[in-house]
Amino acid sequence: MTYFRSHILVCNDPECLEKGSMEIMQALKSELSSKGLLDEVQILDTPRIGNCESGPEILVYPEGFHYINLSKENIPFLVEEQFLKGRPVNDLLAPPKKEEAQELGEPTAKEIRVVLRNCGKIDPQNIEEYIAEDGYQALAKVLTQYSPDDVINTITQSGLRGRGGAGFPTGKKWAIARDSVDGQKYLVCNADEGDPGAFMNRSVLEGDPHSVIEGMIIAAYTIGASQGYIYCRAEYPIAIRTLNIAIEQAREYGLLGKNIIGTDFSFDLEVRKGAGAFVCGEETALIASIEGKRGEPRPRPPFPAVKGLFGKPTNINNVETYANIPQIILRGADWYASMGTEKSKGTKTFALAGDVKRTGLIEVPFGITVREIVYDVGGGIKNDREFKAIQTGGPMGGCLPAEYLDLPVDYEKLTQAGSIMGSGGMVVMDDETCMVDIARFFMEFIQDESCGKCVPCRVGTRRMLEILTRICNGEGRDGDIELLEALSAEIKQDSLCGLGQGAPNPVVSTLKHFRSEYEAHIYKKECPAKVCRALIRYEIQADKCVGCTACARNCPVNAITGEAKKTHYIDPDICIRCGICKQVCNYEAVLVT
C-alpha cells in the first residue's frame, strides 16, 4: 500500500459540484504536481464533508482541517502553506462548531434581572454610569432617612436570605451583628466563589461592582462597621482589578472614606486576594485567610457576628446578597417579597452549565421549576439528547433525576429533594453521563480541597474516593454500597465545617436516585452510560466502516488493523479505550459496548 502523509478529501455532493469542486480538485492536482508532492498527498472525492452551504469545501487529514468557500485562486497559496510549510491557512478554515457560548445574553421570558440588571449594560469602570442607573440613591436614602433599625426591618420584611448558599435570613444576621457590643466591627464580602461551574459573582463583580459596594456601605452603616474587606479569589484577576477601580472612584465621589456624603458615618473598603483554596469560602476559614493564616475553619460558635475578623464582631455576606440590598431599599420590601415562594423571596442567579443548549448566567425568581430552567431558559438538552440529571449546589450539592423536573426551585424544596441551593451552580447532564463517575469526580474534588484539619473529612473522603474509584474500575465489591452509606453518615455528622458535612452529598444523592447504576458497576461489571473505561470496549461496525484508515492512523497504541477501503478491527487487548477512534470517525462506525 502506498503511504501518503496527507489526504485531501474534496466534497463531491451536487451542491459543491455546482459551486466548482471539480475545478478545485483539478487545481489541487496541478499545484501538487508542480510542487512534486503528488506522491505524498492523496486527493480523494467524497460526499458529506460539511453541509455544502459554504462549498466548495475540503478536508485535510490527518489534522482534520476543514477549508470552506474555496476558489481556484486560493489553491496555490493553500498548497504552499498547508503541504510545503505545514501550517494551516486560518482565513480559509471553517469556523469551529460550537453552541452559543454567550455568558450573559438577552434575558428569556422566564427571567427577571435584579442583581444582573446592569451587567453588560453599563461601563463597570465608570461610576457615573452606575449613578445614572439610580446608583447610590439607596445609600443616600438610608444615610439621610433610615435608622439602622429601619434598614434591618426593611431587609427582614423583604425576606432576603443569604445567597452564599445556606440561606440564613439577612435581616436577622445584621441584627445579631448590630447587637454585638464592641468598639470595632468589621464587614466582609465573601467573593471567594469556588464552586466549580459557578461564576455568578464574578459577573456581578466584573459587570456591576458598585452595586456590591453600595450594598456593603449600607450594611456597614446598619451594623456599625468602619472597615470592610472584599475577599476575592485570585482566579478572578479582572474582578479584582474592576473592584479596585470602583473603590477608588467611590472614594473620589465621597461615597467611601470619612464622612460619607457629608454625614458623620465613615467606612472604607479593601480588596483581599485569595491564593487558591476552596475551603476559604467557608466563613471562618475566610476570616483566617484575611488575617494572613492558613485558611482552616474553626468550630462555631462563637459565630463571626460575635467574634470574627481579628476577634471582633464581623458580618459576612455573599456578593449577591449585598448586590440585592440597594434595589430592596429603593423599590421596597414588598416589591422584593412579591417575587418567589413562601419562604424563598426574590430572585437567584444561577450559572447554567453542562449539556444544555444555552449555557451561561441566568437570574430567575424562586419557585421556577427545573424544567423551565432547563428547557425554557437553557433551550433544552444539547444535540436533543435525553435529560438525565441536574446537579445543583456545587460539589457539596446533589444530583436530581428527571422525576424532579417539575420541582419548584427554592431553598427548602431542593433540600427536601436531597440536593442544596448552594451558591448557584447548575450542571445539566444528558444520558451519556455516568452517575458513579460523576460522584467519583466530585469526591476527588472534595478530597483534594479538604483542608486536612479534621479527621472525618480528611480521611473519610479519601476512603470514599478509593471505593468509588474501584467501582469505576470494575473492581467494586459486594458491600461497597453499604460501606459508602455508612461513611457518608459519619462524615456528615462528625465533620467540622460545611465542606466536610456536605462532602458525602454527591454520593448520597446519586445512591438515592441512581442506585441501579452503582449495582450495574459492581455486580454486572457494566457501565450503563458507557463511560467507565474498564467496563466498556470499542468495536467497529462492519456495515458502517468504509476503510478510510482515519482510526488506525490516529490510534495512539496501534490497536486498530485493516486495509484501506476494508473494514477495520480493534484489538481489545491492546485498546486503551481512549475514544480517539470514535472522535475521528466520520461514519459513526465506532460503537461502544
Q: Applying CB under 8 A, which residues contact another protein?
A: 63-64, 96, 98, 101-103, 193-199, 202, 234-236, 272-278, 289-295, 310, 351, 353-355, 359-360, 391, 395, 425, 427, 429, 433, 438, 441-442, 444-445, 449, 451, 556, 578-580, 583
Q: How far is the CB of 33 from another protein (least distance, A)?
A: 29
Q: How far is the CB of 240 from another protein (least distance, A)?
A: 11
Q: What is the dihedral angle through the alpha carbons of 152, 156, 160, 161, rounded to the nearest 10 degrees?
A: 90
Q: How far is the CB of 438 from another protein (least distance, A)?
A: 7
Q: Write the CB contacts of 376 (distance below 8 Å, at least 6 apart in sequence).
A: 108, 109, 110
Q: How far is the CB of 214 from another protein (least distance, A)?
A: 23
Q: How far is 396 from 425, CA to CA, in rounded Å?
A: 11
Q: How far is the CB of 83 from another protein (least distance, A)?
A: 17
Q: How far is the CB of 48 from another protein (least distance, A)?
A: 20
| Burial (Cβ within 10 Å: 0-12, 13-18, ≥19) of residue 250 | buried
Q: How far is 51 from 61, CA to CA, in rounded Å?
A: 18
In a 13 Å sphere around the CA of 125, the CA atoms on its Cβ side amount to: 6
Closer to another protein at the Cβ: 63 or 128?
Answer: 63
Tell me the sheet residues that pair with 391: 399, 427
Instruction: Write 463-469 long-range contacts (CB < 8 A, 24+).
Output: 463/487, 464/488, 464/491, 464/503, 464/504, 464/507, 465/440, 468/436, 468/439, 468/440, 468/443, 468/507, 469/440
Q: How far is the CB of 78 from another protein (least distance, A)?
A: 18
- Whether residue 279 contacts residue 297, with contact meaning beta carbons closer than 8 Å, is answered with yes
Closer to another protein at the Cβ: 104 or 140?
Answer: 104
- Whether residue 422 contacts residue 381, with contact meaning beta carbons closer than 8 Å, is answered with no
The x, y and z cell numbers of residue 571, run together, are 484489538
Tell me the one-letter amino acid at 359.
T
Q: How far is the CB of 150 from another protein (least distance, A)?
A: 34
The x, y and z cell numbers of residue 505, run together, are 452529598
The x, y and z cell numbers of residue 264, run together, are 458623620
Closer to another protein at the Cβ: 276 or 479?
Answer: 276
Closer to another protein at the Cβ: 250 or 427?
Answer: 427
Helix (H) or strand (E) holding 177: helix 170-179
Tell me the one-letter amino acid at 371.
R
Closer to another protein at the Cβ: 196 or 408?
Answer: 196
Closer to another protein at the Cβ: 102 or 416?
Answer: 102
What backbone torsions phi and psi does residue 491 show, to the nearest 5 degrees?
Answer: -65, -40
Closer to another protein at the Cβ: 169 or 196?
Answer: 196
Q: How far is the CB of 88 from another protein (least distance, A)?
A: 8
In a 13 Å sphere around the CA of 429, the CA atoms on its Cβ side amount to: 23
Helix (H) or strand (E) holding 250: helix 237-252
Q: What angle do CA 324, 231, 447 make, to 5 degrees?
A: 105
Q: How far is the CB of 53 from another protein (least distance, A)?
A: 21
Closer to another protein at the Cβ: 333 or 396?
Answer: 396
Q: How far is the CB of 334 from another protein (least distance, A)?
A: 34
Tell me the one-letter amino acid at 297.
P
Closer to another protein at the Cβ: 63 or 182?
Answer: 63
Closer to another protein at the Cβ: 171 or 500?
Answer: 500
Closer to another protein at the Cβ: 283 or 355?
Answer: 355
- Whether residue 409 contacts residue 367, with contact meaning beta carbons closer than 8 Å, is answered with yes
Q: How far is the CB of 81 from another protein (least distance, A)?
A: 14
Closer to another protein at the Cβ: 382 or 512?
Answer: 382
Q: Is the dihedral of CA 35, 39, 40, 43 positive or negative?
A: positive
Closer to another protein at the Cβ: 354 or 504?
Answer: 354
- Whether residue 579 contacts residue 566, with contact meaning beta carbons closer than 8 Å, is answered with no
Q: How far is 536 from 20, CA to CA, in rounded Å?
A: 44
Instruction: Write 246-249 long-range contacts (CB < 8 A, 24+).
Output: 246/124, 246/125, 246/127, 246/209, 246/210, 246/213, 247/213, 247/271, 249/126, 249/127
Q: How far is the CB of 298 from another protein (least distance, A)?
A: 15
Q: How far is 458 from 462, CA to CA, in rounded Å?
A: 7
Pick the closest to residue 208 from 124, 125, 136 (CA basis). Answer: 124
Closer to another protein at the Cβ: 444 or 475?
Answer: 444
Q: How far is the CB of 528 from another protein (least distance, A)?
A: 17
